[in-house]
Homo-oligomer: A and B are copies of this chain.
Amino acid sequence: MTSAFDVDTAVEEVEPGLFRATVSDRWNVGTIPDGGYLLALAARAIGEKLPGRELRTITAHYLRPSRCAPIEIEVEPVKEGRTYATAMARLVQEGKENVRVLATFASPTASGLEHVRGAPPELPPVDACTRAEPIDAIAISHQFETRFAPDSAGFLRGAPTGNAELRAWVRFADGREPDVLSLPLIADALPPPILEVTTFRWLPTIELTVHVRGRPAPGWLRCKFESRFVFGGYLEADGEIWDSEGKLVAQSRQLMTSND
């Protein structure tokens, strides 16, 4: 429990189903806590109520920005079955709900059916990639080591590629290994890929869903995020997170608005 992620997602159950935590400022984008961090916090509280099961799919609807302050997480069981258990969570600060979350956890399962068309994101070796220097105004950038593919992340050197796609190696800066619970955070931890097309603007996330597809092996994660449909005031960001052994461990999609 010494890693920043473990400390900052610590939850305490103060009444049955009611958890207290503190939103840390180490995962901020500007002054606002990152949505993936809040999602991981919710997943952790829900997981406390579902021992022996692992996160499989989680969706958050973001209602208002959270603050770096104490937060309550109210977990409501929805259904507990043999294999699957579904629960809801409300993240509340000062009596106002900031985030509503719906998640399904599962017992370990398997199946022989296999058909994989996707491949890990194209990334040169870590040392041949572009190190992203942390930016003080973006606290979350200090929490990860990120190495971008040289042909993506042009925005870092003032030369956006014009293609809203980012590919990068990612790991926690403090050496914590990735696990299932860190995937909702990592799904929202990189800069928005639309920075390859347009200069920074605030893009509030309306909804974020993460499908967990496996337990990540230790080491660097290979990540790809892209926005293919930016129009009409909205954009999506689709993510794939692969582990160091070349297995897909999460898919994510979020809906953002460009209207603020």
* Residues in chain A within 8 A of chain B (CB atoms): 56-57, 59, 61, 63-64, 78-79, 81, 83-84, 86, 88, 97, 100, 102, 104, 109-111, 113-118, 163-164, 194, 197-198, 201, 206-207, 209, 211, 213-214, 226-236, 248, 251, 253, 255, 257-259
Question: Is B57 within 8 A of A206, CB to CB?
Answer: yes
Question: Is B258 within 8 A of A113, CB to CB?
Answer: yes
The copy count of this chain in the complex is 2
Which of B78, B104, B235 touches A207 (beta carbons < 8 Å)?
A: B104
Which of B83, B116, B194, B229 touches A230 (beta carbons < 8 Å)?
A: B116
Question: Is A248 within 8 A of B233, CB to CB?
Answer: no
Question: A-side binding surface: helix, strand, loop or mixed?
Answer: strand
Question: Is B56 within 8 A of A209, CB to CB?
Answer: no
Residues on B with beta carbons closer than 8 Å to the beta carbon of A81 = 63-64
Question: Is A117 within 8 A of B255, CB to CB?
Answer: no
Known: A117-B228, A117-B229. 14 other contacts (CB 8 A): A56-B206, A57-B206, A61-B86, A79-B100, A88-B100, A109-B257, A110-B232, A111-B233, A111-B234, A113-B198, A114-B230, A115-B230, A211-B255, A229-B251
